[in-house]
Amino acid sequence: MAGIAIGLAVMIIAVAVVIGFKSEVRNKVIGFGSHIQITNLDAVSSYETHPIVVGDSMMTALDGYPEISHVQRFSTKPGMIKTDDAFQGMVLKGVGPEFDPRFLQEYLVEGEIPVFSDSVSSNRVLISKSLATKMKLKLGDKIYTYYIQDDVRARRLTIAGIYQTNFSEYDNLFLLTDLSLVNRLNGWQPEQVTGVELQLKDYDKLEDTTYEIAIDTDNRKDEYGGTYYVRSIEQLNPQIFAWLDLLDLNVWVILFLMIGVAGFTMISGLLIIIIERTNMIGVLKALGATNFTIRKTFLWFAVFLIGKGMLWGNVIGLAFCILQSRFGIFKLDPETYYVDTVPVSFNIILFLLINIGTLLAAVLMLIGPSYLITKINPANSMRYE
């Protein structure tokens, strides 16, 4: 029973943690880069800015796809922050009035998210807490940023808000400000931007929707010669999503190992019970009981023990998930894992499948050992009574 309880608890915890971890990391990547991006083909492997034209007609057309929930433009400009004590490379990302602030609002530590504009510049920025700490900056500070083109251009910006997602690849890189400011720094025409970000209603439709939009948009040229190129968030971040996919393999390994351990425990237990009840089995056979009837009795008894073990396993597993979800008892290094506590996500369907699968696997493993009952001879078993 203990083997079943521990095995099931480990399976529930492993699945909950992996699902939670994948969901947290994926949502942060999507929060920064959306589900689908359309950019210039020449800017595939660089933050250096190559614009495309995204006018009102294109925005309306993209918003018309049934799986698209939100469309927003963005522009980027590589630069550098410099203070009296240090300097740091960064990417200034400009967004317009259609920017969806919900993701950053969730991780806002101080200040506020400005109302971004595509026509005027407020010179206000959002900066990450890790970058602010590194540069010894605080809310309301004026920061000097520098951009290199034909000559060095400088802009003084005010920190309007500080956020912390613990996703270091983005936190240490991006500052958010008005689309208008970034476009002026790039010297672009009114409708030119670095790209457009598309949010989906259903992540499961990512591949199909990306393909559908790419068929309509890829390799078309705008009026200035820029070539449109469509990529999904998985294509933009292949290393991160490949790493997340590897976690599924780890879960399957854990599931098979735990089912194996639980099954071995139950097989050993059933064999011990049969050996201890050899005399009883002989008496039952002498009284006319068939092998099938006796085997069925012992299997039902084993199922009862499995049920008790599964009950305790569920209690342990669910208790861990609830406590970790509410109190974040177990911590992680955000620099390595992108989250500061072990995330858990409870999925009722997977929970039921784990329980049903464990029960079926354990019972099937016991069918073979139960045939030992057929080898017990009543005369021999009762001789030593």
Span 368-385, pLDDT tens digits:
777 777 777 765 655 545
Q: Label residue 101 by pLDDT band (50, 70, 90).
A: very high
Cβ burial of 94 (10 Å; 0-12, 13-18, 19+) is: buried
What pLDDT is recorded for position 124? 94
Same domain, 252 and 361: yes
Tokens of 173: 């890189």
> Residue 154 falls within a domain, yes or no?
yes
Please compute the mean of the pLDDT values over residues 267-279 and round it to a whole number: 76
Q: Greater confidence, 167 or 208?
A: 208
Name the percent of the chain lying above pLDDT 90. 39
Please compute the mean of the pLDDT values over residues 338-364 and round it to a whole number: 86
> Residue 30 falls within a domain, yes or no?
no
Q: Which of 225, 259, 284 is the last residue before a domain boundary?
A: 225
Same domain, 72 and 211: yes
Residue count (the chain): 385
Q: Label residue 170 by pLDDT band (50, 70, 90).
A: confident
Q: Which of 172, 196, 225 is the last residue before a domain boundary?
A: 225
Same domain, 14 and 107: no
> Residue 39 falls within a domain, yes or no?
no
Same domain, 221 and 251: no
**Whole-number mean pLDDT of the chain?**
86
Q: Which of 168, 201, 225 is the last residue before a domain boundary?
A: 225
What pLDDT is recorded for position 44? 66
Q: Greater confidence, 152 or 40?
A: 40
Please compute the mean of the pLDDT values over residues 167-179 and round it to a whole number: 89
> Residue 234 falls within a domain, yes or no?
no
Examine the pLDDT at 48 and tell me if it is beyond 80. no
Cβ burial of 11 (10 Å; 0-12, 13-18, 19+) is: buried
Same domain, 215 and 287: no
Q: Label residue 195 by pLDDT band (50, 70, 90).
A: very high
> Residue 200 falls within a domain, yes or no?
yes
Examine the pLDDT at 154 and tell me if it is beyond 60. yes
Q: Tell me how many degrees the CA angle 94-150-40 measures, rounded to the nearest 5.
A: 45
Examine the pLDDT at 147 and tell me if it is beyond 80. yes
Same domain, 18 and 81: no
Express each pLDDT in 213-246 by its tens digit.
999 998 899 888 889 999 999 998 899 888 888 8
Please compute the mean of the pLDDT values over residues 160-176 and round it to a whole number: 89
Containing structural domain, residue 122: 51-225
Same domain, 185 and 327: no
> Residue 40 falls within a domain, yes or no?
no
Same domain, 273 and 370: yes
Same domain, 125 and 70: yes
- Residue 293's CB is within 10 A of a number of other CB atoms, namely 12
Same domain, 13 and 134: no
Same domain, 73 and 13: no
Name the percent of the chain lying above pLDDT 70. 95
What pLDDT is recorded for position 298? 79
Q: How many domains would you assign to the chain?
A: 2
> Residue 233 falls within a domain, yes or no?
no
What pLDDT is recorded for position 334? 79
What pLDDT is recorded for position 384? 47
Express each pLDDT in 295-307 by its tens digit.
888 788 888 888 8
Tokens of 125: 């920025």
> Residue 232 falls within a domain, yes or no?
no
CB 196 within 8 A of CB 62: yes
CB 77 within 8 A of CB 186: yes
Same domain, 344 and 291: yes
What pLDDT is recorded for position 232? 94
Express each pLDDT in 279-331 by its tens digit.
777 777 777 778 778 788 878 888 888 888 889 989 999 999 999 988 888 88
Rounded-to-integer distance, Cα 262 and Cα 354, Å: 13
